[in-house]
Amino acid sequence: MPAARFDAIIIGAGHNGLTAAAYLARGGLKTVIVERRDVVGGCAVTEEIDPVNAPGCRVSTASYIASMLRPEVIRDLRLASYGLRMVACSPGVQTALPDGRVIAWWSERQRMSEELQRFAPQDVERFFAIDEELQRLASYLQPFFLEAPPDPEAAGFRKFIEFVNVARRFRRMRGRDAAALVRFLTGSLGDFLDQEFRSDALKRLILSNSLYGKHGGPYQPGTAMGLLFHLLSGGAEERQGFAGHVIGGMGAITEAMAQSCRDSGVGIRTGAEVRSVNVHKGVATGVTLADGSSIDSNIVVSNADPKRTFLGLLAPGDLDADFLRQVEGIKMAGPCGKVNLVLSEEPRVNGMPASHSAAERSLFTLAPSLQQAEDIYNQAMRGVVPDELWVDCVLASNVDPDLATEGKHVLTCFVQYLPYALRDGSWDSERDRIGDKVIETIGRYAPNVPRSVVARKVFTPFDLERTFGITEGNIFHGDINMGQLFFMRPVPGWAQYRTPVANLYLCGAGTHPGGGVTAAPGYNAAHRILRDRK
């Protein structure tokens, strides 16, 4: 790409960076994206697991299910016209139980009622009552998803406007709903489930979809918010709680975004790692790449996480000591990993109903009990590989056969909890042990899996950091807890996508509303930048 001055440079071609770039280009800004890897997509990529031993077998390397991708982004960037196709997960969650049964969470009320009659007959009515309550409460939070959080630093008339904007979101809320919302945002998932339900199978099913990538065992305060988070809407039809398989893997999302960007005039440069953000008299003026070359720009937008941006790409003198202290205090230490497998046969999960179609057999979570999950987290936080693993499995080739070659299957496994820093040894020496442990765990539920492994690729939290450039392997660019959300994300006083360096903005998952392949941070950041330019 020839040297030139741009209106905006985006650091990182993950889905939020691509989203921000597309909207900035649509707003008339001459925009370029620089990406350290040789492929676009960040953590939303589709890649071969093992090109030598299993050529042609591809998997969603890191992110693996599309749940809350904003319909506005799908529409505005015309992603469907660039090949994006998502198939709703049905069931949305499915848990293999230690006793050889499989319980599923169906979106159809009648089918779910029949499932509960078999596994939790005493909990049927309460389940549907709580589900309706959760959907209602989530609808109060939904409007905040695609707008900047309120600014508590606002003064004068702007402060009044901020108050009115927040108040109108809750003007129809009843007192009972307000109490329930506080309960779910601050309470523990384990205490809630123990209070409301009797069936261990149902508790495991709900646990299976509530704490992914989050610090804290289910009995820790604030873990109940996952029940609300996963009921926010997504997908082209904007359905509450939507979760979908992406045909072509998660990389199909970012490839469609990249093509939309190119057609809007955005330049995309891969293999271009940013060494530093150039700052002159407190104003960002461009970036310097690892090869020593510089690109000038009126605006710099970082899709990197806050720690990588502020502690790695800026000089210490560019930021004051108090701000740096707040950034250093952001809780990262990613608590999860991935193991991607190529298999010679489909997993035969104990208790999987014979009536299930191939797509209905594509999901199975090996979820512990609530107390076991608490113990697993506590072990991991002591720097120890837990005795038991919590593994979420997606057999993507059952929905999209083109991901695997003839006679092969691809299984992607999300593993939690794992320590980022081991108390003894290093991940380079312990990586294979995690791969072996995951396969052994799956084998207890699907005995044919261990002998059918053709190839595997293991990503520890350290590998996620090293491969994708996310600090401490945190997939959300910072833990999802009440102290790091809303107007406190990434740090209090700087939740409007701006930073203390003029003309430097953030657009990644470390900003509101947080992680997941939603494109909301990129959308919100781009609109903030365009408003500021006016």
Q: How far apart are CA 21 and CA 18, in angstroms?
A: 5
Tell me what pLDDT residue 3 has. Answer: 52
The H-or-E segment that residue 130 falls in is helix 124-141
How would you write 216-284 as a 3-class SS string? CCCCCCCHHHHHHHCCCEECCCCEECCCEEECCCCHHHHHHHHHHHHHCCCEEECCCCEEEEEEECCEE
Structure confidence at residue 1 as a pLDDT band (50, 70, 90): very low
| pLDDT at residue 214 tops 90 | no
Tell me what pLDDT residue 151 has. Answer: 78
Average pLDDT over residues 329-356: 96
Pinpoint the alpha helices (H) of 453-509.
461-468
**298-336 pLDDT tens trace:** 999 999 999 999 999 999 899 999 999 999 999 999 999
Least confident of 25-34, 140-149, 376-385: 140-149
Q: Say if residue 216 is exposed, middle or buried (CB neighbours under 10 Å; 0-12, 13-18, 19+).
A: buried
Average pLDDT over residues 377-406: 96
Average pLDDT over residues 226-241: 78
339 Cβ contact partners less than 8 Å away, ≥ 6 residues apart: 412, 413, 415, 434, 435, 438, 439, 456, 457, 458, 459
Tell me what pLDDT residue 355 has. Answer: 96
Looking at the chain, the whole-number percentage of residues with pLDDT higher than 70 is 99
Q: How far is CA 511 from CA 327, 388, 484, 514, in A?
A: 12, 33, 9, 6
| pLDDT at residue 459 tops 60 | yes
Structure confidence at residue 161 as a pLDDT band (50, 70, 90): confident
Expressed in angstroms, the distance from the first to the final Cα of the chain is: 29
Question: What is the rounded average pLDDT for all residues in the chain?
Answer: 93
257 Cβ contact partners less than 8 Å away, ≥ 6 residues apart: 15, 18, 19, 22, 77, 79, 82
| pLDDT at residue 473 tops 60 | yes
Structure confidence at residue 174 as a pLDDT band (50, 70, 90): confident
Q: Are 49 and 58 in contact (CB under 8 A)?
A: yes
| pLDDT at residue 4 tops 70 | no
Q: Angle, to 10 degrees, between the axis of helix 175-186 and the axis of helix 124-141?
A: 90
Q: Are 475 and 399 in contact (CB under 8 A)?
A: no
| pLDDT at residue 169 tops 90 | no
Least confident of 142-146, 268-272, 498-502: 142-146
Average pLDDT over residues 125-140: 92
Tell me what pLDDT residue 481 has. Answer: 86
The CATH code of the domain at 5-44+59-86+247-330+475-533 is: 3.50.50.60
